[in-house]
Every structure is written in structure tokens, then in C-alpha cells.
């Protein structure tokens, strides 16, 4: 690891403290471009402007953030890093090791972040003990979204086991309804895959296979059963799924073109942005099995020159974790606040389920970082897993072949 010197770290803190009189400037790179996401990031822009700041938006489309990371690397290599960047999980540590992140500990300590952020989630925001990123929210990955009218008309309850899901899908298919809305993109395939891993294997198996990368777990009969279920799910997707963006799949459920979608709760942000009401127009339930897969969106501040940009970083960090933004943003985004002291009174039933489950799963050891959304693994092993998942989903590859390929791909990537 490229460790920062004490001198450099203290200088970064001092820089954040100096520009109190400078007009805050921020160029913000992110990939929130869908309806619910754009509405959410606009909240931060408005709060930033109200505090005298000037925001330059740098959205890079692509739900998984891969395109945004390509754009970021080009900017950093050219010596012109953005002020703030949407980053998460191990990617934060990777950029810290490049020596290009600013230290925002002064803001974090002044605002008392350690007192209101859950320890497991706060750990993702620290680099060598110092705060290097500001958390925005907590997304739950393992959700099923359903079109309530379709489900009611066909006498289907939200499934609690994968067997129940398959039976419901068969019934829907027989009625001429597409059971599962899905977009044929690698990160979407990975999203479905990790929910099946958790659902069929449980929390300990998920930890062993997709966090610890244990070869025995990766090559197990349980993993073969996961690929069996993925093959079954592939049969419930319409023929035009290739390349479809996630929000277009959400729209299929919203518009009655499909019954279910397996997707993180940013999908709820799309329903809400369209004026749909949970429990009336759509319904939500955790995917079958026990556990909570989380994705914490966050912003890292890159080292920049100029008191105005440094003032912008300090202001952004303060606003992002502030109670007002935490409530308003997450009401739009579909996620829940990362702060433990924000009231959920204004939030819907799906958010309450999420918050209650997160607290319970945190207690029993089944609060787990999402591999598919960059919280559990660094790039190469995660990419190796996803490549196998997508290759299997888009071919006639057997589960035995997929498991063998998975073990070999992960070994080669480490």
C-alpha cells in the first residue's frame, strides 16, 4: 500500500479547514441518470446552491458505474481530478492507495459521524483510520418487486422460497405473462446471481463464496444448485432482454408487461418517481432466504488545488451526511438513511421492512456486502465471477461446467 505521510495527511486536513471564505465549487462525477436517481441528486445540488456553492454536474450513464470509473481514471491520469466522485466499497481503498484522495476527517469529526453511522458501514468510509468518503445511503440489493394488479389477478403471493417463485413464474407463463423483467447486462445478471447464492446457501455460504472466495464453497454442490436456479430463471425472461437498462425492466413491471423484477431498491425510486404507491400499485419483498445484501453509495473527495474547490469538498461532505439531505434524498432514491438517528416516519412500508431487517441482520451476522455492486471485492475477482455468471446465463453451459469455470476464474484473478 502507498501510505500517505503524516505531513501530507495533516496538510489535507488543514486545506479543508482553510477556505471558509472561499465560494464553494464542486465538479461532481456520478452515474445517477435515471428518473429517480436524477431527482435524488438534484436534492444535493439544491442544498449546495443554497449554501452559496456552485455545482458542475458530470453524470456518466451506466447503472453499474463502469463507464464512470473509466472517465474518472482518464481525469486522474491527466492531472485534472473531479472535486467529488461517487465511489464505494473497496474502490475507495484502491484510489486511496493511489495517493489521490483528500482527508475529510475534520468534517466527519465536527459533525459527529462516528456517533450516528453503523460501525460496519462506517468502516467502508475510512482509509487507514481516517475518513476518506461520505456515505449517502443504504441500498438493499436482495428485493423482488411485483406488479400488484397482475399478482392479485392470478392469485399469487410474493414468494418466500425459490420453489414458490418458480411455481408462480410457471403459472404466469401459462397465462401469457412474462414472469421476470430483466436486462441482459453483466451487472444485472450478477445482481440476480448473488440473491440466489444468499437464498439457497445462506449467509455463511455467501460469506465463504463471494466475500472470502473459498474454493470449496465456489465449487460446491450448493453453487451448482445456484446455477441450476439461474438456468431456470433465464427461462422466465422475455426474448428481448439483451442490453436492456435496469430502469426499463422496472418500467415493464410498472406498466404490466412483466410480473416481477429482482433488483435493488433503487427500483422503488423509479416507481415512486412515476407516482406509484407501494402496497397499491406495486409490492416488495426480500428475495427468498435470510440475510441483507447492502450497497452503500458514497462520495470520495479527490485532492484538488484551490480554496474554492476545497471549500466545496468540505461543504459537500457536511451536506451528504446531514440529517436533512439523508431524509430527502433517500425518500427519492428508494434507499434508507445511513444515519441511525433519522426518523423513518415519512418513509414507505418497503423502507420500514429494509430498516428493520438491516438491524436484525446486523445482530445475527447476516448483514453482508454486495459483491455485484462493488462492496465486497476488488475489481479482478468480482469481474471474474461476473464473467462466468453472464457466460452461463447467455448459453447452454451446464451447472457443472459453470462451477468449474468459476473456481478456475477466481483462482486466476487473485
Residue 63: per-residue pLDDT: 64
Q: Which among 306, 301, 317 is positioned nearest to 48, based on CA atoms?
A: 317
Q: Same domain for 214 and 234?
A: yes
**Is residue 243 included in any domain, yes or no?**
yes
Q: Using CA atoms, how far apart are residues 364 and 315, in angstroms rounded to an integer?
A: 36
Q: Same domain for 62 and 151?
A: no
CB atoms within 10 A of CB 312: 28
Q: Same domain for 278 and 152?
A: yes
pLDDT digits (tens, 9 = 90+) for 185-242: 999 999 999 999 999 999 999 999 999 999 999 999 999 999 999 999 999 999 999 9
Bridge-partner residues for 300, per DSSP?
85, 133
Q: How confident is the model at residue 347 (pLDDT cuts 50, 70, 90)?
A: very high
Domain coverage including residue 269: 141-294+361-413
CATH number of residue 59's parent domain: 3.40.190.10
Q: Same domain for 88 and 130?
A: yes
Residue 378: per-residue pLDDT: 87
pLDDT digits (tens, 9 = 90+) for 115-125: 999 999 999 99
Q: How many domains does the chain have?
A: 2
**Is residue 1 included in any domain, yes or no?**
no
How do beta strands 292-295 and 367-369 pair?
parallel
**Is residue 355 included in any domain, yes or no?**
no
pLDDT at residue 4 above 70?
no
pLDDT digits (tens, 9 = 90+) for 274-304: 999 999 999 999 999 999 999 999 999 999 9
Share of the chain above pLDDT 70, in %: 94
Q: Same domain for 172 and 261?
A: yes
Bridge-partner residues for 282, per DSSP?
147, 278
Residue 1: per-residue pLDDT: 43
**Is residue 356 included in any domain, yes or no?**
no
Q: Same domain for 279 and 386?
A: yes
pLDDT at residue 6 above 90?
no
Q: Using CA atoms, how far apart are residues 344 and 71, in angstroms rounded to an integer?
A: 36
Dihedral in degrees, nearest 10, Cα atoms 390, 391, 393, 399? -120
Residue 225: per-residue pLDDT: 98
Q: Using CA atoms, how far apart are residues 204 and 198, in angstroms rounded to an integer?
A: 9
Q: Same domain for 183 and 59?
A: no
Q: Same domain for 228 and 374?
A: yes
Residue 34: per-residue pLDDT: 84
Q: Using CA atoms, how far apart are residues 408 and 404, in angstroms rounded to an integer?
A: 6
Which whole number is the average pLDDT over 103-110?
Answer: 97
pLDDT digits (tens, 9 = 90+) for 38-68: 888 898 999 999 999 999 999 998 766 888 9
Q: How confident is the model at residue 3 (pLDDT cuts 50, 70, 90)?
A: very low
Q: Same domain for 17 and 127?
A: yes
What does the mean pLDDT of the chain come to?
93
Q: Same domain for 279 and 307?
A: no
Please list, in sequence order, all residues whose beta carbon lies within 8 angstroms of the beta carbon of residue 63, skipping any fewer than 6 positions away: 31, 34, 185, 187, 188, 245, 246, 247
Domain termination site, one of 303, 318, 350: 350
Q: Using CA atoms, how far apart are residues 365 and 44, in angstroms rounded to an integer?
A: 33
pLDDT at residue 269 above 80?
yes
Q: Same domain for 275 and 213?
A: yes
pLDDT digits (tens, 9 = 90+) for 136-165: 999 999 999 999 999 999 999 999 999 999
Residue 87: per-residue pLDDT: 93
Assigned C-alpha cell, 117:
453511522
Which whole number is the average pLDDT over 247-269?
Answer: 97
Amino acid at each position: 500500500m502507498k501510505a500517505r505521510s503524516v505531513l501530507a495527511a495533516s496538510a489535507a486536513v488543514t486545506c479543508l479547514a482553510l477556505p471558509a471564505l472561499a465560494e464553494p465549487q464542486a465538479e461532481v462525477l456520478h452515474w445517477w441518470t435515471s428518473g429517480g436517481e436524477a431527482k435524488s441528486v438534484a436534492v444535493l445540488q439544491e442544498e449546495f446552491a443554497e449554501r452559496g456553492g456552485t455545482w458542475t454536474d458530470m453524470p456518466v450513464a451506466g447503472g453499474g458505474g463502469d463507464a464512470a470509473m473509466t472517465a474518472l481514471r482518464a481525469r486522474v491520469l491527466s492531472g485534472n481530478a473531479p472535486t467529488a466522485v461517487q465511489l464505494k466499497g473497496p474502490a475507495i481503498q484502491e484510489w486511496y492507495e493511489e495517493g489521490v484522495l483528500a482527508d475529510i476527517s475534520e468534517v466527519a469529526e465536527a459533525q459527529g459521524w462516528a456517533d450516528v453511522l453503523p460501525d460496519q458501514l462506517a468502516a467502508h468510509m475510512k482509509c487507514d483510520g481516517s475518513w476518506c468518503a461520505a456515505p449517502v445511503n443504504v441500498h438493499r440489493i436482495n428485493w423482488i418487486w411485483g406488479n400488484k394488479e397482475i399478482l392479485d389477478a392470478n392469485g399469487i403471493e410474493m414468494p418466500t422460497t425459490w420453489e414458490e417463485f418458480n411455481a408462480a413464474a410457471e403459472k404466469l407463463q401459462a397465462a401469457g405473462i412474462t414472469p421476470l423483467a430483466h436486462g441482459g447486462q453483466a451487472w444485472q445478471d450478477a445482481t440476480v446471481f448473488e440473491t440466489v447464492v444468499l437464498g439457497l446457501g445462506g449467509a455463511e455460504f455467501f460469506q465463504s463464496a463471494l466475500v472470502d472466495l473459498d474454493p470449496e464453497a465456489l465449487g460446491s454442490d450448493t453453487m451448482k444448485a445456484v446455477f441450476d436456479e439461474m438456468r431456470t430463471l433465464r427461462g422466465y425472461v422475455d426474448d428481448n432482454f439483451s442490453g436492456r437498462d435496469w430502469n426499463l425492466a422496472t418500467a415493464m413491471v410498472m406498466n404490466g408487461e412483466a410480473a416481477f423484477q429482482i433488483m435493488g431498491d433503487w427500483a422503488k425510486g423509479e416507481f415512486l418517481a412515476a407516482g406509484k404507491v407501494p402496497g397499491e400499485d406495486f409490492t416488495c419483498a426480500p428475495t427468498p432466504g435470510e440475510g441483507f445484501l447492502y450497497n452503500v453509495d458514497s462520495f470520495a473527495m479527490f485532492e484538488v488545488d484551490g480554496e474554492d474547490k476545497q471549500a466545496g469538498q468540505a461543504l459537500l461532505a457536511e451536506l451528504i451526511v446531514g440529517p436533512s439531505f439523508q431524509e430527502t434524498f433517500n425518500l427519492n432514491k428508494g434507499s434508507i438513511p445511513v444515519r441511525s438517528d433519522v426518523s423513518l416516519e415519512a418513509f414507505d412500508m418497503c423502507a420500514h421492512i429494509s430498516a428493520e431487517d438491516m438491524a436484525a441482520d446486523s445482530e445475527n451476522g447476516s448483514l453482508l456486502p454486495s459483491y455485484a455492486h462493488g462492496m465486497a471485492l476488488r475489481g479482478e475477482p468480482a469481474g471474474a465471477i461476473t464473467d462466468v455468471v453472464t457466460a452461463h446465463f447467455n448459453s447452454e453451459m451446464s451447472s457443472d461446467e459453470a462451477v468449474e469455470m468459476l473456481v478456475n476464474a477466481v483462482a486466476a484473478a487473485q
